[in-house]
Amino acid sequence: MLLGDSAKMPLRKEYLADLEKLKVDVQKMGELAKDSARNAIKALVQRDRVLAARIIKENVTIDDLEFDIENRCMKLIALQQPMAVDLRTIGTCMKIITDFDRISDLAGDIAEIVLLIADEPHVKPLIDIPRMSEISQGMLSDCLEAFSTGEIKMLEDFSDRDDEIDALFDQIRRELMTILIEKPRGFTNASHLNFVALHLERIGDHACNIASRIIYMVTGKRRKLE
């Protein structure tokens, strides 16, 4: 073994450890964002102001984690000049943390709505909104598993799942419009519920973005899911 090669070995081990820690923290951020989205709908259904306030407060932790991960990604690229799979992995990390941050922001927006309408009767039963949440939660869980394991088969039907979320959103919007014609006094509550459904529809879109990036990370091939 050449002397130069021997000197590089500890640096290589440190680089691999840094890359693995990066992936762990991206996974952590994804779990936090997913939990925020799930808890936001739980707070809506249960009219839980305390949980809603906690979601808003915890957004700061997710924001800080995004900033830290982004800085470490740029440092690894600048100092280590990664190639092939490693470069795709770091690039994917930089991209999907933005989606995770937006998901947590949307969860915070839903939590803000909970604080506004927790004491109001809803103009329609909360059936389709929890269903939208359930589908998007499944998508986010599959994204996190695929990111961790490199198994992407579970991402193949994301376009169909996103279409289901979109269909539920359209159905909710139509129902709310019909209700408003019959009960104009319910405008404020209907408007808030419509925004909740819209935020969930966007969470589904972000899940598709994340899945597309993970597919690229694993295969090197771009595939747009929507």
Cβ distance 223 to 152 under 8 Å? no
How much of the chain exceeds pLDDT 70, in percent?
A: 95
Cβ distance 196 to 123 under 8 Å? no
Query: For residue range 1-25, what is the model confidence (pLDDT) as tens digits?
Result: 444 455 455 667 888 898 999 999 9
Amino acid letter for position 166? D
Higher pLDDT, 148 or 80: 148
pLDDT at 124 (0 to 100): 87
Domains of the chain: 8-219 (1.20.58.220)
Query: For residue range 16-70, what is the model confidence (pLDDT) as tens digits?
Result: 898 999 999 999 999 999 999 999 999 999 999 999 999 999 999 999 999 999 9
Range 95-123 average pLDDT? 95
| pLDDT at position 119 over 80 | yes
Q: Among all chains, which residue has been given the structure tokens 């109001």?
A: 120
Query: For residue range 122-137, what is the model confidence (pLDDT) as tens digits?
Result: 888 899 999 999 999 9
CB proximity list for 4: less than 8 A, separation 6 or greater: none
Q: Among all chains, which residue has been given the structure tokens 């359209």?
A: 170
